[in-house]
């Protein structure tokens, strides 16, 4: 958070706020490999799978070192034309379990 003039700007509630952690769910059979979720993920969490679904498409999967990188922006979900991917709040899941 350093601006061009070198001044460090820090949100007042930084101590309390955290980057949300998301869990990615993929409905592989719906995927048609358009790539929107992979391309537009701000954290580059997703990669194409090596395997294919029953219709021959490489669906998205979590990149090897990105298991905890989802920031829950939900963009993959929103832009998916197939309703084949969505995210949930991983911290919610923890409190629930």
Residues that bind other proteins (CB under 8 A): 23-30, 32-36, 39-40, 51-55, 57, 61-62, 67, 75, 78-84, 86
Pick between residue 3 and residue 54 the one whose CB is nearest to other proteins. Answer: 54
25 phi and psi angles, rounded to 5 deg: -120, 130
CB of residue 48 to other proteins, shortest distance in Å:
12
Which among 19, 21, 18, 25 has a CA at the least distance from the CA of 87?
A: 25
CB of residue 91 to other proteins, shortest distance in Å:
14
Which among 41, 47, 95, 49 has a CA at the least distance from the CA of 71?
A: 41
CB of residue 15 to other proteins, shortest distance in Å:
29
Pick between residue 18 and residue 81 the one whose CB is nearest to other proteins. Answer: 81
Cα Rg of the chain (Å, integer): 16
């Amino acid at each position: 958070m350093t601006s061009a003039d070198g001044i460090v700007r820090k949100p007042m509630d930084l101590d309390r706020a955290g980057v949300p952690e998301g869990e990615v769910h993929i409905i592989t059979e719906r995927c048609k490999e358009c790539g929107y979720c992979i391309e537009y993920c701000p954290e580059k969490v997703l990669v194409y799978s090596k395997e294919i679904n029953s219709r021959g498409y490489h669906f998205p999967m979590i990149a090897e070192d990105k298991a905890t990188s989802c920031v829950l922006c939900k963009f993959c979900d929103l832009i998916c034309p197939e309703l084949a991917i969505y995210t949930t709040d991983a911290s919610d899941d923890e409190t629930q379990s």
